[in-house]
Structure 1
Amino acid sequence: MPDLFLALPRGGYAGLWVEMKSTEGTETKEQKGWRNNLCSAGYKSSVCFGYDMAVQCITDYLVE
């Protein structure tokens, strides 16, 4: 299950799920599975490596 959820439909998506990682982090197989399931259900799901990437991801989603 990703770390953050923005319950705001945008750009054809039902909401945005964000998996937060450190800049040196990696995504597990289980996390990839969660993200694939969320995408199949109509959500946008992203992995963000660090704060700056997360801010950019959320900002981009909000302007879709």
Structure 2
Amino acid sequence: MKAFSVNPSRAKPIDREGQEQAALMREIELRFPEAYALIYHVPNGGHRLKAVDAKLKAQGVKAGIPDLVLPMARGGYFGLYIEFKATVEPAAVSPSQRDYLRRLNEQGYLAIVCRGHFDAMEQLRAYLLLPATVAA
């Protein structure tokens, strides 16, 4: 009988960033239920068929959109956007992500990069401690 091995180049990649972000969402749900009720993930990334990619772009999908959005106004900001990067196998912030964060900041949002679960929780906690932004 032949022994068989798995070719490591064909192994299914592990989504470390997705795993860390899911853990982050579980902790937000436990520690900050009011924020959890509003925060959402923008599923902009991933690999798709070209036809699906074209359809989604036509519907408004854009490169560089941050991963998480919290539409709670605090500290003079209109809301919080987080570009989430894993601590394991950290990825660089792409030029389109950097540009989008800059544009959001110019519009009065707090748009930041968080490297891992701990960093994101610290930034979220600090943001939630800011006084509510009052609309005039």
TM over 0.5: yes
Structure 1 segment 24-35 matched on structure 2, within 5 A: 24-35=90-101
Aligned match for 2:71, one of 7, 17, 35: 7
Residue aligning to 1:21: 85
The percent of aligned pairs where both chains have the same amino acid is: 36
Distance in 2 (CA, whole Å) between partners of 1:25 and 1:50 is: 11
Give the length in aligned residue pairs: 64
Letter in 1 for 2:120: A
Q: TM-score, normalised by structure 2?
A: 0.46
Contact 1:25 1:49 in 2 (8 A): no
Which digits, 9 at most, give the CA deviation of each residue in 1:5-63, with x for residues without a partner? Answer: 11000000000000000122210111000000000110001100000000001000000
Comparing both chains, which one has the higher relative contact order based on Cα–Cα distances under 8 Å and sequence gaps of 6 or more?
A: 1
CA RMSD of aligned residues (A): 0.6
Q: What amino acid maps onto 1:13 in structure 2?
A: Y
Greater Cα radius of gyration, structure 1 or 2 = 2
Alpha-carbon distance in structure 2 between the residues aligned to 1:16 and 1:57: 10
Structure 2 unaligned runs (5+)? 1-64, 131-136
Q: TM-score, normalised by structure 1?
A: 0.95
Unaligned runs of at least 5 residues, structure 1: none
| Greater strand content | 1
